[in-house]
Structures are given as structure tokens and as C-alpha cells.
Chains A and B, each alone.
Chain A
């Protein structure tokens, strides 16, 4: 049946996000917060994350154009960015954020610039995957969201 096929697609898409390391356990914490009163909580949080983190990316980009680099400022921005990423379970993004902060602490400008490209890459990749995932979920409708294994 159409609905079964969709459910399987949702479950498979979700599972692969975890298997491929894009998401970690924290994403499940968000899923657990969904209920009938808040059926789209995860998507809402993720949407908020992307709005907020896009702003931070802009800030970091501008800061990276300054010379010399203000590593403290960069680290502060990344602290925020990493915090949000961590809170939505964005595992690969978080890993790159950690690397970036290491370079900040070491005062390594080249490392920061290089790693930031990775941060943006992972950030964008996850966004695409999550958008596709949520599109499927929305298609399935509120009462039919696949129950996930814990």
C-alpha cells in the first residue's frame, strides 16, 4: 500500500541518517519530545537551528576576512554554533566545529579557514538530508509518523 511504502521510506531515510553518522542520539531526544500537542517539534527545532546557524555562519565569514584574526571572537561564535549543532544531534557538523575551535585556540588562521569550509559543507549537506526527510514525514501526515526504535 502507498502508505506502507511511505512509512518504509521514512524509516529507511531516518535510519541511514544515523548509520551514516549525520545524526546522533540527541536527535532521538528531540523526537521523544514530540507528542500530539507538538507533532512537528523536531522540524521546528531544526528550522530554528538553520535560521540561527546561518546568521552565525555569516558572522564567522565576516570575522575570517579581518586581519589579523580575532580568535576569541571566532571561538565565541563557534561556541554558539557548536552548542546548537550539538543540541539537534548534528554529529558531523559538531565534529567540524570542535576542530575549528582547536585551531582557534592554537591561533592557526589557515586551519580555521580550512575547517570552516568543512563546517559549511557538513551544515549544508545535513540541511538537504533533513529537508528531504521532513518532506517525507509531512507527506505521511500527523497520525502516521513512523514510530522509531529506541
Chain B
């Protein structure tokens, strides 16, 4: 790309990726944001050792587990820092969270195809953009960077800079612009994001990175290391610790609530807002209080919004497609840790017309003794807890809420009327949370059916701490869910009696 070349996009700030990256004798396409030439790190001078090192690293890469793609391995690795195989936080070695076969949700067709949540979201965006020219993407790093979490990978190349727009870091501004475009009749998908999160492994990876770049520069080859390292941004290129999308969403929350959610009502149907706000929500690992909050309760509180939170790849595909097709504003709460997780998908799910209904929950596991409701990452924990409980003779029914607004009260109540006990699980703060609403719904509509008080598992009512042990205590664990179920089944002493 030559300086001063006329940009090919009608939106001049969006250069076409076809103009390519700057070459140089060897460039490693590693997904880092391309730095201006004077900031690029220089490679080490060539030495005889490097070809050998290159060959060594060519055959060995840090692969923590089953390889479903280096990107996913990398994310799994990061995500499982401090957790054991079951996803419980420990100071143990790094492991990848893999869905064990026994934990796989029942009801999926038995087909060999698997898909990560990331791929599911990417394919959903791809198909909806292909089907409707009014759909466009907007957000930080969605274009040339291929997406901060690689959700939008490849879309800039396919649809061009007029439909995949990189924005400056100005949430209030670009969210307002997205809502305005929706007023006019376009279908924006707004992603909130800054950087990914894991600074903790930075030095280890930088070291490997330098060796790779040195080796490749010696050979003059372009090596795609894939996305293993695109989690990491050298300090000089980027900001510090990354941020959770929906934490940034509250910078723009005025536009989500006042400009989007309320508009159809205030205008008596004159102006509708077919927009999707999406991005990761809730806690990751070690990103502390400003980047770990779950905003499900905040958005689900507001009439005029639809709020969805997928768990599996099927959820991610079906719900995102439904959200994009929906004529109302949808807040789509993803989970960073789930992005790399793989789920089996049937042919039906892979079909481009696949769509899930908004407002319907899914019974992930049937049971008869207790109902556990959860959404997003907590569905995983609930399923693990159900497995533990089944060995102790308690049959738990796990409901994956999928939709927080509208809440599928019918499914929840029907389940509670069957099992007579309820445990709601959420990651967010307890007060005025999703569990509080579910509890009230059940009390209003199925009070006589309850055999025990409703148990509510939520994140600790504190800003998220950083220290690994405190963080583990602040987020619900499988044990907490198991214990709550036992209390609901009167297998253990009620909390009040123990006080």
C-alpha cells in the first residue's frame, strides 16, 4: 500500500484490506493490529541458531489439549488459567475446558460436526450479511483487526469496508450513529470492544513471538502463526489490560436505553430500531472489577429491549440470526470464555435459514427433583452440577434461559410445577438480578407448587477482585450450585438455620 493512495471505500477512514499490509522481507500475519511503520518492532539480527529454533518451534507449539484450532487452544488456555478440568478455579496447571461427552446437552442430533461458539457467531453474521444488504457491522477492531475476539474474522475481506466499519474508541458516538442508522432503516450490528484481556502471560508469549519473527525473517517466509498470539498486544502498541465489551457498553447505555429501547413506543410505531448490540458480557479471568460485571439484569430491566444470552454454538447461531432479523433493538450478551468452546451441531443448525425463537428457553437436561435455571456460562456449571447430583440420586432439570427479555416464564413455571424446587444461577450481582425476577415469577404463578424456598446463586455482592483466590470466591462454582440444590432438597441444613 502506498502512502496517499486513494482509499477505495466510500467511507474514507476504512481502507480496503485488499490494499494489503506493508510487506517487508518477512511479515508474520499474526493478527496484531498493524502498527505505523515507525513503531514496528524490529526483528533480531539473523544468526545461525535461528533456522534450528524455527524448525523446533515449527514442530512444537504450546498446545494444551485437543487441537481444535490454535485460536481456540489459545483462548481455552487463557480462559482456563487457574481452573481445573471441570472449570473450577484452582491454582493448578493450565488446562483446557472441554465439554465431556456426559456433559453434552441432550437433545442435539448425533452428528459428528462440531463448531465453536466463535465460528457459530461468525457464520451467523456472514449469512445474515449475505442475505440482507442493509446489515452492516460497526465496532472497534471489527474490520482490519479481524475482530478483537475474532468473531468478525474474514468479514471485512468478504463484504468490504462499507459494510464492516472500524470505529474509533468512542462508544457514545458510534452507538448513537448506529441507532440513527437503524432509525433510517438500516440493520446495524454494533460491537462494543477494546482489547482482549490477558496481560498475565505476556512476557512468555513475547519471547516466543520474537523467536518466531526472527526465524521467519531469516527464511524470508511468511508464516501464519494463526491466532495463537493475537490475544496479546505488546504494550507499546496497545492499551493496558483489556476490557469487557458490555462494561464499555455502559458508556453508550444512554443510546441503548433512551434512543433505541424507547423509540418505537414514544413514536407510537413511527420509528422502529432494528439494531443489535453484541459483545462479551460478564467475568473473564483476572480482569478485575471494571471488566467483569454482568449486565444482563441492567438491560433485561428495560421494556423495549430484547435481551438474549446464548450458551452453546447452536444458541449462538440461532439467536444471533434471530436478533439480526428482528425489527426491535436486541442486546446480545455473549461470553468471552465460551467463544473457544466447541459444541456439536446438527445439519439443521448449520443451515443458513436456521433461527431460534426469541423468548423461548431450552431444557438442556431433563430431571424431576429440582429445576436449575441458568444462562450463558452458568449453563455449563449447572450441567456439571447436575452430573454431580445425579450420582447422589438427585435428578436436576437444567433450563438454559437463552432469552432474558422476554423471559420464558412458561417454561420455567412448567418445570417448577413438575419438580417443585428451584435454584436459579447467574454470574451477576444478586440484588435486583435475573434470579430475583425468576424467583418472583415462580412465586406469583406457581407458589402452591413450591416445596422449598427458591435458592438463588449469584456472583458475590462485591466488585470483582483480582486475586485468584478471591476471584474464585466471587464467582459461582459448581459446588455452590450443588449445595444450593441440596438445601432445596432438604438434604442439608438451610442457610438461615446455620447462621
Is A bound to B?
no
**Residues of A that sit less than 8 Å from B by CB:** none
**Residues of B that sit less than 8 Å from A by CB:** none
